[in-house]
C-alpha cells in the first residue's frame, strides 16, 4: 500500500512541476502577440519651440566616463561612478593632490562627502599627469 501511495505522490509532484514550468513560459508567448487597440490613438499637435541650448549635464553625473593612468606604475583604470568601487591608487591620488582630506571608509560616506569626491574625481581626470 505504501508503494502505491509513493508512486501516486511522485506522479502528482511531477505534474505540479510540469504545470508550473509551462505556466511560466506561457506569458512570454502571449506577450509576443501584438495587442490591437480598440480605438485609434489620438494624435496631439506639438508646437516647436525655438531651439534652446541644451544645458550641460551636472558634474556629478559625468564621473565614471574616463580613464586614469597611474603615473607610478602606468596602470590604466576606468573611473568608477561609485567611490566604493574606485581603485585604491585613485583614492590615494585624490589625497596626494589635495582634492580630498583623506581616504574615506565606506561607513564614512554620506551625501555631501560623495559630492565632494565626485567633484574631486572630475578635477583629477582633468589633470595631465593622470590622463590615459
Q: What is the pTM of this model?
A: 0.49
Joined together, the cell numbers standing for residue 5 give 501511495
Segment 46-85, tens digit of pLDDT: 555 555 555 444 444 445 467 888 888 888 888 887 888 8
Domain boundaries, the chain: 1-31, 59-130
Segment 86-97, tens digit of pLDDT: 888 989 988 998
Pick the closest to residue 78 from 20, 125, 9 (CA basis).
125
Q: Rounded to the nearest 10 degrees, how much is the dihedral formed by the CA atoms of 75, 76, 82, 87? A: 0
Amino acid at each position: 500500500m505504501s508503494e502505491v501511495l509513493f508512486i501516486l505522490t511522485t506522479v502528482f509532484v511531477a505534474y505540479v512541476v510540469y504545470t508550473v514550468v509551462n505556466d511560466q513560459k506561457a506569458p512570454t508567448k502571449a506577450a509576443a502577440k501584438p495587442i490591437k487597440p480598440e480605438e485609434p490613438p489620438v494624435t496631439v499637435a506639438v508646437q516647436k519651440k525655438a531651439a534652446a541650448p541644451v544645458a550641460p549635464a551636472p558634474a556629478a553625473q559625468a564621473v565614471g566616463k574616463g580613464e586614469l593612468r597611474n603615473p607610478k606604475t602606468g596602470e590604466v583604470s576606468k573611473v568608477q561612478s561609485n567611490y566604493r568601487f574606485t581603485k585604491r591608487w585613485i583614492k590615494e591620488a585624490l589625497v596626494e593632490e589635495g582634492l580630498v582630506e583623506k581616504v574615506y571608509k565606506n561607513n564614512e560616506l554620506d551625501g555631501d562627502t560623495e559630492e565632494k569626491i565626485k567633484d574631486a574625481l572630475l578635477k583629477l581626470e582633468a589633470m595631465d599627469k593622470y590622463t590615459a
